Structure 1
Amino acid sequence: MAGTQEFVEADNAEAIITRIEHKSRKIESLLKQSRPVEALKTALEGAPPKTRDERCKSATWIVVHRAIMAIKDVDGMFSSLDPEYYDILMK
């Protein structure tokens, strides 16, 4: 039974999508303020790494991708990320 709790259930997917939509608005605000690294960190915070729901994966990727595309110095961004954010980004 322990293995069944590792992945997000479909019932929770709607809640995750709602959180991602809220997060997307915050990211857009940060990007308008020319704070792309903070936008990326916001996108990565609370990312559900253990979900089988493709909608959640896709929605998460869209917000992360949007933040990354706004960053001009990608090498500098990687060096400024905390290891926890880097790990989430690589997953």
Structure 2
Amino acid sequence: MASDLGMRRRRALWRAAHRGSKEMDYLLGRFAEQTIDSMNADDIAVLERLIETPDPRLELSLFEGYSLGERDLDALMDRVRRFHGLPWTR
């Protein structure tokens, strides 16, 4: 079980930094790099879903404050935004 969580963490960390545009790779990758070790299985599941979100939707959420349509994704995006010192725009 613990090794499964470790594998999911490593996979999510790699995917966060290798998913699309350089800007989103950097922003999500840096966030994941600094926070992944403190994430539990539920947190990893939300991160995995966030990573699969298309860049244009992520950019609108991150920079303009648009909702991703799910409370847990919006909460994680808020954490990403605060991590990078970006203002909350909602």
TM range (shorter): 0.3 to 0.5
- The TM-score, its normalising length taken from structure 1, stands at 0.35
Give the alignment's TM-score, normalised by structure 2.
0.36
Higher Rg of the two aligned structures: 1
The answer to which structure, 1 or 2, has the higher relative contact order (CA under 8 A, 6+ apart) is 1
